Amino acid sequence: MFVLIVRRTFQSIIVMLVVALLAFTMFRYVGDPVAMLVGQETSLQERAALRENLGLNDPVPVQFGRFVLNMVQGEFGISYQIGRPVSELISERLPATLELSLLAALFALLTGIPMGIYTALRPGRWLSHFFLTLSLVGISLPTFLIGILLILLFGVILGWLPTFGRGEVVDLGWWTTGLLTESGIKSLLMPAFTLGIFQLTLIMRLVRSEMLEVLRTDYIKFARARGLTNRAVNFGHALKNTLVPVITITGLQLGSIIAFAIITETVFQWPGMGLLFIGAISSVDIPIMSAYLVLIALFFVLINLTVDILYNVVDPRLRGDMRSSLG
Amino acid sequence: MEGAERSQEESTGQVQPLLSVRDLMVQFPNRRGVLTAIQDISFDLMPGEILGVVGESGAGKSMTGNAIIGLLEPPGRIVKGEILLEGKNLAALSQQAMRRIRGRDIGAIFQDPLTSLNPLYTVGDMLVETILTHLPLSRAEAQTRALDMLSEVGIPAPHERIGHYPHQFSGGMRQRVVIALALCANPKLVIADEPTTALDVSVQAQIINLLKRLSKEHGTAVILITHDMGVIAETADRVCVMYAGRIVEIGPVRQIISAPRHPYTVGLMAAIPKIGSGADKLIQIEGVMPRLDGIPAGCAFNPRCPQKIEACTRTVPPMIAVAENQLAACHLFTKPGGA
C-alpha cells in the first residue's frame, strides 16, 4: 500500500511538471508579458528594465525553474487585467466553485446510484422505464439549456429561486460559504442541479449496466444457492462488485464537474473560478489562465490518486500481499 | 411405471426417500413458442445416497439440478410435476420459502470454483454469512463453525486461511471452500453440478474423495451431475442416464456399468476408453443429440439407435423394469418386461 502511494505520488509529480511546462509556455510565449503589463507610453528603456527585473532575459530552464518554484508556493503572478495577485483572486473564487461542484457531485451520486440499482433489480417496472427515459433526456439536453429552462421556470415564472449569484455568503476567514444562509442555499439549488444532472444520468446508467453484469455471474448464483437473503445478495455481494468500476468513473467525473463548471457558472453568473476563467480568456489574462490550468490539473491528479487508493481498499486482488497457495 | 417405482421402494426397505421427483417438466417460453427442456423426470433419492446423473451437454442434467434448488433462470419454469423433499413439495413453494430451503436443506456446488466465490469477500465472511443465515448461532459460534468446516474440507491452517480472499487460493482449494460453503448449514442433500470438470486431473480425485467422505460422515445425499462416467463409477451408488431432456435409464451403478440395457447407455459405456483393450480407435455414438427445438417424434434417440424398431418413431417409450432396481425407457423391453 505504502509503495503504491509513493509510486503514484511520484507519477503525479511528473504529470504536474508537464502541465506546468504547458502553463509556462503559455505564460512566456503567448504574446509578450512585458507588453501586456505596461501601458502605451512606457519607454523602451523602462521596458528593458522591467524585462530584466522580471527575469525574462534569463535562460529558459532557469525561468521554468523559477516558475515551478513560485507555483509550488502558490505564486501565479499578477493578473494583467485586474492588477491583483492571481493567487488572491483564485482563493476568493475557489470556495464558490468547490461548494457548487461537491454539492452537484453529491446530488448525482446520492440519486444516481439508487436509481441505477433500482433499474437493474426491477427492469420491468414502469418506474425503471421512467428513470431510463429521463436519463436519456438528461444526457441529450445540453447543460446551458437545462440551466436556462430552470431559470425560466423557477426564477421567472414561479419566482421561487434567485436566478444568479451566490446570495448572501458567510465569511469564515479562510472560506466563504453560502450554505449557512437561506438565500445562499436557495441560490445553490439550481446551479447544483444543472451541473449534476448529466453526471447523475451517467452514474445511473453505469451502475445499472455494471449491476446487470454482476447479477449474471456465478458467484451471485452461488450466493443465491446458499440461501442468502435477496438483500444480502443484491446489496452485499452484487453492489460491492458493482461499485469497483463506479468509483473510477465517478472520480474522473468529479474532476470534470469542477473543470466544466464553467458553463453552469456562466449561465447562473456564479462567482466561481469558471467565471473568472471566462473573463480571463476574453481579456487574454494569461496569468489567470495558466493558474487555472495548473489548478484543474492538480484537482484531476489528486482525485486520481484518491481513486487509486480507494480501488485498493475495495478490491483485495489489487493489494500487494499476494499469498497464493497450491493444493 | 408406477408399479416399477413402487417395487424399487420396497426393495430398498421401509426407509422413506429423502427426495422424490415426480414427472418433472421444465419449459422455456420464447418468442417462437415453448421449449421443453426436461420432461417426465421421476426418481427417488434415499438419505445418504449418491446418485450420479450422466449425459451429454444439453441433456438436461444441470436443468434438473437447478429445478430442484429453485434456481431456474427466467423465463424457465416448472410447468408440471412435484419435487418432494421429505414430503414437502418444493415446486409449489414461494420464492421466499424456497430461499430458506436453499443452503439449509439443499446445498449446491457449481462447476467452476474460480468464479463461484465473490472476489471481494474473504472466505470467512462468506462462511459466517451463510451460517448466520441458516443456523441460530452467535457470530462467535459461527466463526468457530466456519473454522471447523475449513479444516473438515482439508484446508491447512484454517485459522490463517479464514481471513484470505478467494484469489489467494488455488483451484482445488477454492473448490474445497465451495464445498465447505455448501455444507456449512449441514444440508440433507447436496447437488454437485460438474464439481470436478474445471479442475486438474490430479485434484479431481481429491475432491471426489472428499465429497464421498463428507457424504458418508454426515449422511448427506448427493446428486452428482457429471459427464464423466469414471467419476460416477468411483462415487455413485446409483446412476441416472439422461438424453434430450428425459431419463433413459436408471439403476445401481455396478449394474448399469456391467449390464447397460438402453442402447444409448450401451453406447455411452462402450465409448469409455479402456487401457489395454487393443483398440486404436475411439468408439463413439454416431450423430449428435438433437437440439431442444428439433427432438424427433417417438424415442428421442431413434435416429442414432442401432437397434431401432418400428415403434421407436411413433411413441415415447415408458420406463420399464429391466432388472432388479433398474429401469430403462426403451421399446425393446416393452414386450417381455411388461409394466
Note whether A217 and A266 are same-domain residues: yes
Phi, psi torsion values for B29, nearest 5 degrees: -70, 135
Would B131 be classed as within a structural domain? no
Do A218 and B104 make contact, defined as CB atoms within 8 angstroms? no
For residue B7, the model assigns a pLDDT of: 45
Chain A residues near residue B165 by CB distance under 8 angstroms: 316-317
For residue B280, the model assigns a pLDDT of: 65
Note whether A110 and A207 are same-domain residues: yes
Would A182 be classed as within a structural domain? yes
Residues B164/B122, Cβ–Cβ less than 8 Å: yes
Q: How far apart are CA A249 and CA A252, in angstroms?
A: 5
Note whether A130 and A239 are same-domain residues: yes
Note whether A114 and A216 are same-domain residues: yes
Note whether A207 and A249 are same-domain residues: yes
Sign, Cα dihedral of B8, B12, B14, B19: negative
Mean of pLDDT over chain A = 84
Q: Which triple of cell numbers denotes residue B148?
A: 471447523
For residue A325, the model assigns a pLDDT of: 37
Regarding beta strands B320-323 and B326-328, do their DSSP bridges make them parallel or antiparallel, or are they unpaired?
A: antiparallel
CA angle B53, B55, B60 (to 5 degrees): 80
Domain range enclosing B40: 2-105+187-260
For residue B249, the model assigns a pLDDT of: 93
Would B229 be classed as within a structural domain? yes
Note whether A157 and A67 are same-domain residues: no
Q: Is A219 part of the contact surface with chain B (CB cutoff 8 Å)?
A: yes
Structural domains of chain A, count: 2
By percentage, how much of chain A surpasses pLDDT 90? 13
Would A219 be classed as within a structural domain? yes
Which of A218, A226, A327 is nearest residue B181 as measured by Cβ atoms?
Answer: A226
Which of A228, A230, A317 is nearest residue B119 as measured by Cβ atoms?
Answer: A317
Radius of gyration of chain B from Cα atoms? 21
Note whether A169 and A229 are same-domain residues: yes
Note whether A107 and A256 are same-domain residues: yes
Chain B residue at shortest CA distance from A321: B168
Chain B residue at shortest CA distance from A311: B120
Count of CB atoms situated within 10 Å of the CB of B218: 15
Structural domains of chain B, count: 1
Q: Which triple of cell numbers denotes residue A84?
A: 491583483
Would A288 be classed as within a structural domain? no
Q: What is the dihedral of CA B94, B100, B101, B106, to 10 degrees?
A: 140
The CATH code of the domain that includes A198 is: 1.10.3720.10
Do A315 and B172 make contact, defined as CB atoms within 8 angstroms? no
| DSSP letter string, A125-147 | SHHHHHHHHHHHHHHHS-HHHHH
Q: Is A124 part of the contact surface with chain B (CB cutoff 8 Å)?
A: no
Q: To which H or E segment does residue A13 belong?
A: helix A2-29
Could you report the per-residue pLDDT of A10-64, keeping only the tens digit for each?
Answer: 888 899 999 988 888 887 777 777 777 777 777 888 888 878 877 777 888 888 8
Do B185 and A232 make contact, defined as CB atoms within 8 angstroms? no
Residue with the bigger pLDDT between A203 and A324: it is A203
For residue B297, the model assigns a pLDDT of: 86
Chain A residue at shortest CA distance from B167: A317
How close does chain B come to A227, measured CA to CA in Å? 4
Chain A residue at shortest CA distance from B203: A327
Note whether A164 and A272 are same-domain residues: yes
Of the residues B110, B120, B206, the best mutation for testing chain A's interface (the one with the most A CB atoms within 10 Å of its CB) is B120
Is the previous residue joined to B252 through a cis bond, with omega within 30 degrees of 0? Answer: no
Do A324 and B169 make contact, defined as CB atoms within 8 angstroms? yes
Do A222 and B107 make contact, defined as CB atoms within 8 angstroms? no
Would A31 be classed as within a structural domain? yes
Q: Is B209 part of the contact surface with chain A (CB cutoff 8 Å)?
A: no
Residues B227/B206, Cβ–Cβ less than 8 Å: no
Which of A218, A324, A325 is nearest residue B115 as measured by Cβ atoms?
Answer: A218
Residues B153/B177, Cβ–Cβ less than 8 Å: yes
Note whether A66 and A132 are same-domain residues: no
What average pLDDT values come out for chain B (339 residues) when binned by 10 residues? Answer: 45 76 91 87 92 89 91 88 91 90 92 88 93 93 94 91 92 92 92 88 88 91 90 91 92 91 88 68 78 85 86 88 89 63
Q: Which triple of cell numbers denotes residue A297?
A: 490539473
Note whether A67 and A130 are same-domain residues: no
Chain A residues near residue B120 by CB distance under 8 angstroms: 240-241, 244, 314-316
Which of B100, B116, B176 is nearest residue A218 as measured by Cβ atoms?
Answer: B116
Domain range enclosing A50: 2-72
| DSSP letter string, A50-76 | HHHHTTTTS-HHHHHHHHHHHHHTT--
Would A310 be classed as within a structural domain? no
Which among A281, A283, A293, A273 has a CA at the least distance from the CA of A89?
A273
ipTM of the complex: 0.85
For residue B40, the model assigns a pLDDT of: 92
- Residue B125 CB contacts under 8 Å (≥ 6 apart), including other chains: none
Q: Is B125 part of the contact surface with chain A (CB cutoff 8 Å)?
A: no
**What are residue B326's DSSP bridge partners?**
B323
Q: How far apart are CA B319 and CA B299, in angstroms?
A: 12
Instruction: Tally the residues of chain B.
Output: 339
For residue B52, the model assigns a pLDDT of: 94
Chain B residues near residue A316 by CB distance under 8 angstroms: 119-120, 122, 165, 167
Give B205-209 contacts, CB < 8 A, sequence gap 24+: B206/B154, B206/B172, B207/B172, B207/B175, B207/B176, B207/B179, B208/B234, B208/B235
For residue B158, the model assigns a pLDDT of: 92
For residue B140, the model assigns a pLDDT of: 93
Using CA atoms, how far residue A228 sits from A232, A233, B279, in Å, is 6, 6, 51
Examine the pLDDT at A272 and tell me if it is beyond 90. no
Q: Is B263 part of the contact surface with chain A (CB cutoff 8 Å)?
A: no
The CATH code of the domain that includes B12 is: 3.40.50.300
Burial of A156 (C-beta count, 10 Å sphere; 0-12/13-18/19+): exposed
Name the pLDDT band for A137 (thresholds 50, 70, 90): confident
Burial of B28 (C-beta count, 10 Å sphere; 0-12/13-18/19+): middle
Residue with the bigger pLDDT between A270 and B252: it is B252
Do A228 and B129 make contact, defined as CB atoms within 8 angstroms? yes
By percentage, how much of chain A surpasses pLDDT 70? 97
| DSSP letter string, A270-327 | --SHHHHHHHHHHTT-HHHHHHHHHHHHHHHHHHHHHHHHHHHHH-GGGSS-------
Q: Is B134 part of the contact surface with chain A (CB cutoff 8 Å)?
A: yes
Burial of A200 (C-beta count, 10 Å sphere; 0-12/13-18/19+): buried
Give the orientation angle of helix B201-218 with respect to helix B171-183, to 10 degrees: 20
Q: How far apart are CA A238 and CA A182, in angstroms?
A: 40
Burial of B13 (C-beta count, 10 Å sphere; 0-12/13-18/19+): exposed
Chain A residues near residue B185 by CB distance under 8 angstroms: 227
Do A241 and B118 make contact, defined as CB atoms within 8 angstroms? yes
Chain B residue at shortest CA distance from A222: B116
Would B132 be classed as within a structural domain? no
Note whether A64 and A162 are same-domain residues: no
- Residue B297 CB contacts under 8 Å (≥ 6 apart), including other chains: B313, B314
How close does chain B come to A315, measured CA to CA in Å? 6
Count of CB atoms situated within 10 Å of the CB of A228: 24
Q: Which of A17, A43, A72 is the last residue of a domain?
A: A72
Of the residues B149, B151, B167, the best mutation for testing chain A's interface (the one with the most A CB atoms within 10 Å of its CB) is B167
Using CA atoms, how far residue B77 sits from A53, A217, B190, B209, in Å, is 85, 20, 21, 34
